[in-house]
Amino acid sequence: MKKYIMSLIALFSATVSAQTVTGATPKIDSGDTAWIIVATALVLLMSIPGLALFYGGLVRRKNVLNIFMQVFILVAVISIEWVVFGYSNAFSSNSIEFLKPYIGGFDWAFLKNIGVNDLSPYFISHSQTAANGSAIGTIPHIVFIMFQCMFAVITPALIIGAFAERINFKGFLVFSLLWSIFVYNPVAHWVWSGDGWLLKLGALDFAGGTVVHINAGIAAIVTAIMLGKRRDYKGHAIPAHNITYVVMGASLLWVGWFGFNAGSGLAADGLAANAFMVTHIAAAAAALTWALLDWFLDKRPTIVGISTGAVAGLVAITPAAGFVGVVGALIIGVAVSLICFFMVAYVKPKLGYDDSLDAFGVHGIGGIIGAILTGILATPAIQAYSGAAYGNLHQLLVQLIAVGVTILFSGVGTFMLFIIVDKLVGLRVSDKQEAIGLDETQHGETAYTNFD
């Protein structure tokens, strides 16, 4: 009898042990997968219709369709570039050893060697991937590819705000495609791939402060200056033609940003919940701060102002969303509104550059502020990372290096691509085309029709 009981215990132990081993085997988690699919759709919502409405409302009525077309075609073109070789260049490992830290190879070109049930090689925050070496996610690899595709799409679309109302559509398309290939993909590799040199250096960018916003913002100021001012730009903002579009676009951006930031944890867990919370709080603090600045300095709060403030807050919290708590989010939201307001209201008119829709003033400056404050405010209460406020000055230094390198690479890369594309196909429309409007001269359409 004793022997029989001992056999049962041994069998039970073996069964439990086998279940434990089986349970430890990485597998697709339906909850995580469902959340990241939703997050991917939310990030697409940020481009079309969110960014299209936000930028489209800010330009004059003769150029609104041109803005919509620019955003829409980037969704199409960059998505194709991404699956053909862009994702592979950004996230795969390069077979040439000395290139590994800087650019991926072509192992995943056309998504070859990736099965529908293969697990994503990335999980939680991208920073933890490097720390844990062979870490693997709980979502299908193709879902991760689609999620990152939406980031690749919106980044060049953000640059549109700098050269709105004066760029040739053909030149715009060629430039945007080349910029995505030669500027966006390498920076994404540096910061987010397992081989990336900035990731291994310890740079923290939870959802795209450097990769998306600084990268696009620096490209924005370079293109704005090289393209020249709009023919009737007088050093101050040209009134928006449809403020209703602006607030609708900003609202959709706010909603979509939950997918952008909370989705970047790549799991439906507490880290995603924290990113969700701090994203909202930073946006709220920044929106309120900008509205109060409008009120005190210009005697009345404006809907364009509060919308711009909200976007600035969303930009700045993006790199920090997985590393700071509510207090950090409040500080980031207030700080970014104060600095971006100063840049837009005072620095831009003083220097005289025509950043049409403040792509640099909000995304570039906001991304820089967010990345630096991540190095100060990152708290070990969220993840195992700490910033200067918690005694880790090294993290701030790393963030400054990441910001500086991104500014330099994006600036030089954009400058060179601008010259090449301008010589090949031209970038600036003629004075006559600009006066008539890009809707009619570039697309043969008008947004509004008079029937009287």
Q: Which residues of the chain have pLDDT under 50?
A: 1-23, 124-134, 452
Closest CA relative to residue 231, chosen from 452, 428, 66, 15: 428
Which amino acid is located at 21 in the chain?
V
Q: Identify whether the C-beta of residue 136 lies closer than 8 Å to the C-beta of residue 392.
A: no
Predicted TM-score (pTM) of the model is 0.91
Rounded Cα gap, residues 303 and 422, in angstroms: 37
Of 206, 128, 257, the C-alpha closest to 371 is 206
**What is residue 1's predicted lDDT score, i.e. its pLDDT?**
45
Q: Which residue has the tokens 């995505």?
A: 180
Name which of 410, 132, 274, 214 is nearest 205 in CA terms. 214
Cβ-proximal residues to 390 (8 Å cutoff; 6+ apart), any chain? 378, 379, 380
Which pair of structure tokens corresponds to residue 250? Answer: 């900003």
- C-alpha torsion sign, points 357, 358, 364, 366: negative
List the domains of the chain with CATH numbers.
Answer: 26-443 (1.10.3430.10)
Confidence at residue 143, expressed as pLDDT on a 0 to 100 scale: 96
d(CA 311, CA 382): 24
Q: Is the peptide bond before 349 cis (omega within 30 degrees of 0)?
A: no
Q: Are 199 and 130 in contact (CB under 8 A)?
A: yes
pLDDT at 25: 62
Single-letter residue type at 222: V
Q: How far apart are CA 159 and CA 353, in angstroms?
A: 15
Q: What distance, in Å, lies between the first and last C-alpha atoms of the chain? A: 100
Q: CA angle, corner 209, sides to 43 and 163, nearest 5?
A: 75
CA proximity to 184, closest of 85, 262, 95: 85
